[in-house]
Amino acid sequence: MKIKKEIRTSRTARTVVLAGLALSVVPPASAQQLPRVIAPDPGAVLRNIQETEQREQREQQRESTKAPPPVTTQPPPDKLGPEHLEASILVQGFRLDGVTLLPQEELQELLRPMIGRSLTLPELIRQVQVVTASYARQGYVARTLIPEQDITDGVVRLVVLEGRLGVINIQLGDDVRFPPERVRNTLLARQQEGEPIRIPELERSMLLLNDFGGIDVRSALQPGADPGLTDENIYVRPLPFVAGSINADNFGTRSVGQNQLSALIRLNNVDGRGGSATLNAMGMFVDSRVNTYGSLIYATPIGYDGLSLQLGASELDYRLGEQFASLNVKGTSTTYFAGLSYPIVRSGNQNLYASARYEHLKLKATATSDCVPLTDKDVDLMQIGLAFDRLDGVSDSFLTGSGQLTSGSVRFGPGQTFSFPGCGNSVGFVQVDPSGVEGNFTKISAAASYQRRLTENLTWSLSGSGQYAFTNLDTSQQMTLGGPFGVRAYPVSEAAGDQGILANIELRYRMFGGVVGSAFVDGGHIHRLHEVPSGVPSTHNDVSLYGAGFGLYYTQPGRFNLAAAVAWRIGENPLRNVNGTDSDGLKRDPRFWANLSYFF
Question: What residue segments make up the domains of the chain, in order of their start?
Answer: 3-65+240-599, 77-239
Q: Please tell me the predicted confidence (pLDDT) of residue 5.
A: 31
- Give exposure, 228-243, as e/b (b: 16+ Cβ within 10 Å): bbbbbbbebebbeeeb
CA 87 to chain CA centroid, nearest Å: 60
| Distance, CA of 6 to CA of 371 (rounded, Å) | 11
Task: Give the homologous superfamily in CATH for domain 77-239.
Answer: membrane protein fhac (3.10.20.310)
**Of residues 53, 62, 64, 63, the one with CA closest to residue 247:** 53
Q: Report pLDDT for 14.
A: 38
CB 253 within 8 A of CB 40: yes
Residue 280: φ, ψ to 5°: -125, 125
| Distance between CA atoms of residues 129 and 111, nearest Å | 10
Alpha-carbon span 479 to 528, nearest angstrom: 9
pTM: 0.86
Beta strand 164-172 with 215-223 is unpaired
203 alpha-carbon distance from chain centroid: 22
Q: What is the pLDDT of residue 19?
A: 37
DSSP assigned state of 490: S
C-alpha to C-alpha distance for 478 and 47, rounded to whole angstroms: 8
Task: Give the pLDDT score at 227.
Answer: 86
pLDDT along the chain (600 residues), means of 10: 32 37 39 54 93 83 61 51 65 96 96 94 92 95 91 92 95 93 96 94 96 93 89 95 96 96 96 94 96 98 97 97 90 97 96 98 82 82 98 93 98 59 51 77 98 96 98 96 97 95 98 94 97 81 97 93 98 90 93 97
Task: Please state, in angstroms and as integers, the Cα–Cα distance from residue 89 to each residue in 59, 73, 120, 149, following that order.
Answer: 59, 30, 6, 12
Q: What angle do CA 531, 533, 536 make, to 5 degrees?
A: 120
pLDDT of residue 67: 56
- Per-state percent for the chain, helix, strand, coil, to nearest 5: 15, 45, 35
- Alpha helical stretches, state H, 263-373: none
Cis before 590 (ω within 30)? yes
Cα–Cα distances in Å, from 257 out to 28, 261, 322?
27, 10, 9
How far, in Å, CA of 194 to CA of 188, rounded?
11
CATH code for the domain defined by 3-65+240-599: 2.40.160.50
